[in-house]
Amino acid sequence: MKFYKPKSLLELFETSEKIEGKKYFLAGGTDINVQIKNGIIKDESIIFLNHLTELKGVLQSDNHIIIGALASFRGIIESKLLKNKLPFFQNSLQEFASPLIQTTATIGGNIANGSPTADVVPLLLVLNAKLKLFSKSKLREVPISEFYLGYKKFILKRNEIIGAVLIPENAETGYETFYKKIGSRKALTIAKLAIAGLKRISNNKIEDIKLAVGSLNEYPRRLYKVEEYLKNKTVDEIDFFELESQLKKEITPITDLRSDKEYRYQVCVNLIRTFLNH
Amino acid sequence: MIIKFILNKKEVSIDVDPMKRLLDILREDFGLTGTKESCGEGECGACTVLLDGKSVTSCLVNAVHIDGKEVMTSEGIAKEPIGKLLIDCFDEPNAVQCGFCFPGFLVTSYHYVKTDGEKNLDKIKKSLSGNICRCTGYQKIFESVMLACERKPLMNANERE
Amino acid sequence: MKSIRKIDAIPKLNGSWKFLDDYSYKGMIHGQLLYSTCHHGIIKQIHFPDGYDLSEFTMVSAADIPGENIVPEPVCDQPYMADKEVFHFGQVIMGIAHPNRKLLREFISNTSIEYEELPAITDIKECLDNEKNAFGRELTIDHRTGKKPDPNWVHHHKIYYTPHQEQAYLEPQGMIAVWQPKDKIMFVRATCQCPFFVKEGVEAIMGDTIKEAVIETSEGIGGAFGGKEDFPNLLAGITSLLSYKSGKPVKIVLDRSDDIQITTKRHPARIEIETWTDPKTKKIMKIDIDYRLDAGAYQTLSPVVLARGVLHAISGYSIPDAFIRGRLFHSNTPSNGAFRGFGAPQAFAAMEAHIDNIASDLKMNPYKFRKINLFKIGDEFPTTQPILEDHLSNCLERVIDKSNYSKKLKEFKEWNKTHKDKKGIGISIGYHGGGYTGNGEKVLNSEVKVVIEKDAIVKIYVSNTDMGQGAHTTLAQMFFEAIDHPREKCRIQLPNTSKTPNSGPTVASRTIYIIGNLLRKFAFKIKDELGFENLEGYVASNQNEFPREFRMNFVQDPSVVFDDENYVGVAYKDYSWAACVTEIYYHADTYQIELTKSWSVMDIGKVVNQKIATGQAEGGVLQGLAYGLCEFFYKPGYGRMHGFTDYALPTTMDLPEIDVEFIHNDSPIAKGLGEIPMDFPAPSVRNAFHNATGIFINEYPLVPERIYSYMQRATDRHRQTQTV
């Protein structure tokens, strides 16, 4: 194993460019250390990030809340700014892992780890968050919904990292919110499925709705087809048979040691129904 | 690499593999065996320590992450006024059973009592939810931390900090 | 009743109390086990990775064993290390040691073993459903009348399954062996329940190469729950062999993932019950129980678990015509072993569910149905042991009363009519025979030793370990309270086989019940013998008599006569009794059961230390509830769990409020406490779920995926009836 501890962002990119072969960016280390212990990561190079304070913190800029990729979950949960602006987002993350893991785990790590169960991603999806990607010569923004390409596959280019998460400051305003994480227990749990939702009702009609799920696909996804189907309907107009047929096009639950595909599917349906007050 | 940090209020420095787990540094390099390894993957909290005043599982923290920081273990906390208070509050209802998880519980509850300290069962449960105990069924642990919250205001002001 | 504080709490909290991995010896190297990843097969070849200097490693395999390659157990059939053929995943093939723990770990994880695979049984149902897999001695309790059931009696026939359960002691298994060639002594530091078992284990593998094995426990034993009853014997054997071969102290501490995958678990069970109930009197008139345990690849101590299982199989009911058959079944999984309850939790899982099943069919209140069928004074167990007390009934009455069961039953029924989510309340009962089964305590012949020093310090020597249950505090308390000696003048020796006499293993809820009561008697005996009122005063004025050593053996009550061949007679002199009520909230959207409150009432006789006893009982109740609710180790098609990430132990957020009460604590003797809290709570969860939803699930745990599949089946059946 080779290690690099760049002194600055610039040095980070210079170092990264020089490394051939597979490499890992180590942020909080809550997942990579487990992978090392289990022999999944063996000889690959490791670049330490966590000391780069420029990627930490939560701040307001124009009409966005910017969360540094290296912001810890504890930092997010305790942030006064988020308490004011994005309380739903903040509250939902209380269920992330455990208070001990929250101290070290980072939001960037949760996203870049690429797990289908990543807790923060369904929330970011419904909040229309964007990721700010940094590379040596370029900064670019991509919607989180376009970040994942497949299981542990990202839009990230070689030597590009997630620098920050941008959430519109009024992303929650005017919406009814919904978040459920279903695990084998109430803390220290990996989601069997998770669902986040925002909806706005006007004149009994669903004027706007945003739904996103985790652990039901190769990566967390928005349910655009279901949303499309639901928009501009009153609750009574919803044909749940049709809703399910749209949902089936968008989720691909599996059976594993943790749960069963039939269960995951049905609970997803039930939770959507409950969110729609049906 | 050489790292410097403050361990139980003393400055220390060692030459160490940057990926070495804080847990192993404490146990092997400093002989502080109060910090225990049980699961080795952040799922039990037996290895909890304070890193810059916040509770973490030391099995998932690497040497590189403690450079320039402050680490407190159960041994250090046991000498602090709130640590002493907590030890007495765990001892009084005979809350401790096998004890393997308790240094971890001491650290996490120290953090709670020191930084929050509200005698609120739901908050206490939540704050301790990263620490697993297989012996006690947790009830006496809750009772002990509640007791410490109740007694904290009776301490001298300078001891509460 | 005095809740004196524990002797070890403060050092445990500040981290100074030493657990196994906290010990170090000069020149010590580290060991690790290389085990089979094949369920059944012939070992063709072992490939070590390149790039290591093999001369730095010490390796032992079956061929290096100077003594016998069979671990001493009730049935001696398990080798320390596989020779050519492996019979289960996790079977040890080699012990390997190296000075560098990390390097050793890498070396072993890169070592591969080639097998010729053979057929294997790894699925619980595949094992237990097929009678061809039965092995070992079959046990029967025959209390049949020979009469045919009355045709009017209502017949119920059901099969119940229970899964593995992992002890999940927080301190993993560990062992240090220090070979002392000069004296030919193998010194072993162990985290274990039974130092004298470990001694046998080391002496068996080492044979004549050593004069004696001396076992001393670590100060702290970080939980055991039965898991450190027999596995340490095997581990100590291999660690000793490594120390002998390397000439150095060797420490093996199992990584959690190894520990969870290769050590013993609670036996999965299949229990088939047939009953015939008189619909007029609501009395169960006849019962047939077929009790099967998945023993794993070897029998080891499973016959003893089976014995306790069949002896508790009928639960607390008096049934005139009873037949119980118990068998062990073979599978290619690690041998299952001791876990708090030892066969009894499986028995209650089945019978306490069956009782609710019958009650439901007869449209009866489960409490009233139990009351009619409960043991009464003058009744007998199927072994003909007479029932001498009605404390079980007292426990049930008390718990029904304090939980407001009858009122809630009605309230919930109403509430459920108008809600998608459901509330439910369930009952269960249980009991646990204290000490070794049958004639076991006679055979053990436990001995305790006390030394009184010149300064009136009393030193107590027993081989029973304190693994968290507070035994050393409570044992000392039982001695010094008897003669009113100051607490601080009473010490307890850390178990060491060359210093402490053999007072038997720390198992079977026997420590306080057998050894504690013995120490109390012993204290009175010494007092009578010396004729003092105050020990300190006596020692002060008779200095020349001290230090003085006293020894005493346990003598079994003559009423305990048990026929081991036919399973007739008194199996246990004293039983602890219990009853439980649990309330649940069922979330219809997610098929999850949330426990809201659980009440347990137990009779454990005299409660020596109220706070210690309450804490131990609360912990046991949570283990018991989790057994029914969420813990499982194996999923068909997806294999076994690898660590604490997969195996979901309850966290601080998952438990209900647990209320524990002890009744009849004015009794003169302290009965068993260790196991009973684990025996009885789980069925109350299932019965509460049945009460909430009307759906009956015949297997544990009640995880939402299982509930969902039962719900689906119920809906499908409903649809079918509608179409017909």
pLDDT digits (tens, 9 = 90+) for B13-67: 999 999 999 999 999 999 999 999 999 999 999 999 999 999 999 999 999 999 9
Cα–Cα distance, C677 to C659 (Å, whole number): 12
Q: What is the largest CA-CA distance in chain B?
A: 46
> Three-state DSSP class for C460?
strand
Instruction: Spell out which chain A residues touch chain B, with contact meaning CB-CB distance below 8 angstroms.
Output: 1, 3, 5, 26, 28-30, 33-34, 36-37, 46, 48, 50-51, 74, 94, 97-101, 103-104, 186-188
Mean pLDDT in residue range C246-264: 98
Cα dihedral angle (C401, C403, C405, C406), rounded to 10 degrees? 50
For residue range C600-647, list pLDDT tens digits in order.
999 999 999 999 999 999 999 999 999 999 999 999 999 999 999 999
- Looking at C72-194, list the stretches that DSSP marks H as alpha helix, in order from N- to C-terminal side: 101-109, 124-129
Identify from B65, B70, B134 which residue to disrupt to test chain A contact, counting A C-beta atoms within 10 A and taking the largest count.
B65
Last residue of a domain, one of A145, A168, A191: A168
Q: Which residues of A touch C645 (CB under 8 A)?
A: 34, 190
- Looking at C148-271, list the stretches that DSSP marks H as alpha helix, in order from N- to C-terminal side: 195-206, 231-246, 256-262
Cα–Cα distance, C579 to C681 (Å, whole number): 8
One-letter amino acid for residue C571 of the chain? A
Segments forming the whole domain that contains residue A69 = 3-168
For residue range A235-259, list pLDDT tens digits in order.
999 999 999 999 999 999 999 999 9
Q: Report pTM.
A: 0.97
Q: Which of residues 599-638 of C touch B (CB under 8 A)?
A: 609, 611-612, 614-616, 618-623
- C624: nearest CA in chain B? B137
Q: Which residues of B touch A30 (CB under 8 A)?
A: 42, 60
One domain for residues A140 and A38:
yes
Inform me whether the pLDDT recorded for C723 exceeds 90.
no
CATH code of domain C27-119+173-253:
3.90.1170.50
User: Which subunits have 3 or more CB–CB pairs within 8 Å of chain A?
Assistant: B, C
Delimit the CATH 3.10.20.30 region(s) of chain B. Answer: 2-73
Output the pLDDT for position A43: 85
Cα–Cα distance, A10 to A32 (Å, whole number): 24
> Three-state DSSP class for C187?
strand
One domain for residues A151 and A262:
no
For residue range C512-557, list pLDDT tens digits in order.
999 999 999 999 999 999 999 999 999 999 999 999 999 999 999 9
Contact yes or no for C71/C237 (Cβ under 8 A): yes
One domain for residues A266 and A136:
no
CB contact under 8 A, C6 and B94: yes
Contact status of C326 with chain B (Cβ, < 8 Å): no
CB contact under 8 A, A187 and C651: yes
Inter-chain contacts counted by CB atoms under 8 A, chains A and B: 83
Contact status of B41 with chain A (Cβ, < 8 Å): yes
Contact status of B39 with chain A (Cβ, < 8 Å): no
CB contact under 8 A, A185 and C709: no
CB contact under 8 A, A187 and C648: no
Cα–Cα distance, C221 to C392 (Å, whole number): 33
CATH 3.40.50.2300 fits C440-553, yes or no: no
CA-based nearest distance B140→chain A, Å:
19
Inter-chain contacts counted by CB atoms under 8 A, chains B and C: 176
Contact status of B57 with chain C (Cβ, < 8 Å): no
CA angle (B49 as vertex; B44, B52 as ends), nearest 5: 135
Delimit the CATH 1.10.150.120 region(s) of chain B. Answer: 77-160
Contact status of B93 with chain C (Cβ, < 8 Å): yes
Last residue of a domain, one of A168, A191, A223: A168
Q: Which residues of C touch B90 (CB under 8 A)?
A: 9, 13
Inform me whether the pLDDT recorded for A126 exceeds 70.
yes
- Strand C269-278 versus strand A139-143 pairing type: unpaired
Q: Number of helices (H) and strands (E), helices first, in chain C?
A: 19, 27
Confidence of residue A278 (pLDDT cuts 50, 70, 90): low
CATH number of the structural domain spanning residue A80: 3.30.465.10
- C23: nearest CA in chain B? B33
Counting the structural domains of chain A, the total is 2
Pick B98's closest partner by Cβ from C222, C644, C649: C222
What lies within 8 Å, CB to CB, of C29 at 6+ separation is C58, C97, C98, C99, C246, C248, C249, C250, C251
Q: Which of residues 355-374 of C touch B (CB under 8 A)?
A: none
CB contact under 8 A, B64 and A5: yes
> Three-state DSSP class for C695?
coil
CA-based nearest distance B25→chain C, Å:
13
CB contact under 8 A, C651 and A185: yes
Delimit the CATH 3.30.365.10 region(s) of chain C. Answer: 269-436+569-718, 440-553
CATH number of the structural domain spanning residue A241: 3.30.390.50
Confidence of residue C217 (pLDDT cuts 50, 70, 90): very high
One domain for residues A8 and A35:
yes
Mean pLDDT in residue range C448-461: 98
CB contact under 8 A, B55 and A186: no
Cα–Cα distance, C355 to C427 (Å, whole number): 10
What lies within 8 Å, CB to CB, of A246 at 6+ separation is A223, A225, A226, A228, A229
Contact yes or no for C490/C474 (Cβ under 8 A): no
What's the half-sphere exposure (Cβ side, CA atoms, 13 Å) at B101?
A: 29
Output the pLDDT for position C673: 98
The CATH homologous superfamily for domain B77-160 is: [2Fe-2S]-binding domain (1.10.150.120)
Contact status of C585 with chain A (Cβ, < 8 Å): no
Output the pLDDT for position C724: 55
Contact status of C106 with chain B (Cβ, < 8 Å): no
Q: Residue A159 — left, alpha, or beta (φ > 0 → left; ψ -120 to 50 → alpha)?
A: left
Q: Under CATH, to which class is B2-73 assigned?
A: alpha beta
Contact status of C712 with chain A (Cβ, < 8 Å): yes
Element (H, E) at C721: helix C704-723
CATH 3.30.365.10 fits C269-436+569-718, yes or no: yes
Mean pLDDT in residue range C249-272: 98
Inform me whether the pLDDT recorded for B161 exceeds 90.
no
Last residue of a domain, one of A168, A186, A217: A168
Percent of chain C past pLDDT 90, that is, above it, reads 98
Q: Which residues of B touch A37 (CB under 8 A)?
A: 40-41
One domain for residues A30 and A164:
yes
Inform me whether the pLDDT recorded for C287 exceeds 70.
yes
One domain for residues A132 and A197:
no
Contact status of C652 with chain A (Cβ, < 8 Å): yes
CB contact under 8 A, C651 and A188: yes
3-state secondary structure C202-225: HHHHHHHHCCEEEEEECCCCCCCC
Q: Which of residues 173-212 of C touch A (CB under 8 A)?
A: none
Mean pLDDT in residue range C479-492: 96
Q: Which residues of A touch B41 (CB under 8 A)?
A: 33-34, 37
One domain for residues A81 and A133:
yes
Nearest Cα to Cα of residue C638 among A131, A261, B127, A29: A261
